[in-house]
Amino acid sequence: MSETYRYLEELSRIVKVDEENRESIIWNSVEGIKGEEDSIFCNKKGSFLVEEFVGMYGREELDEMMKSIGNEKYYIIINDAMGSRVIESIYKRYLMIIGTMKEKEIEESNKIITEPIYKIIKEEEKRIKW
C-alpha cells in the first residue's frame, strides 16, 4: 500500500500544477488504485487522498472505480469507517455530475453503483432463508 500511496501523493501534487495533463493524471489515479482499493480506502491517509481525487472525477472515472472495487472488496470497504467515507464521496460525486449525463449514461452508472449492494443483499437473503 505504501508504494501506491506515494504514487497517489505524487499525482496529487502534479495535478495541482499541470493543467495540460490534468485528465490523464486523474485517470492515472484510478488506475493506480486498482487492486488495492480496500487497503487504500480503509487507511486514514489513503482515504483522504482518494477523496481528493474523487472530487475531480467524471462519470468514466467513477464507473471504473466502482467496477474495480468488486463485490468482496465493497463489503469490506463499506464496513470500515474510512472506507465507507470514500464510498459516500463517490456517491455524492455521482449526484453532483448527474445533470451532465445522458439518460443512457445514467442507466449504465446506476447499474454499476447498485450492483455491489444488491449482491450483498441477495447473499444475506439466502443466508436468512426467509
Q: Which pTM was predicted?
A: 0.90
Return d(Cα 18, Cα 54) in angstroms, integer.
18
Tens place of pLDDT for every residue, the chain, 130 residues? Answer: 589 999 999 999 999 999 999 999 999 999 999 999 999 999 999 999 999 999 999 999 999 999 999 888 999 999 999 999 999 999 999 999 999 999 999 999 999 999 999 998 998 898 897 6
- First-to-final CA distance of the chain: 41
Return d(Cα 70, Cα 34) in angstroms, integer.
10
Return d(Cα 99, Cα 127) in angstroms, integer.
38
Three cell numbers written together for 31: 488506475
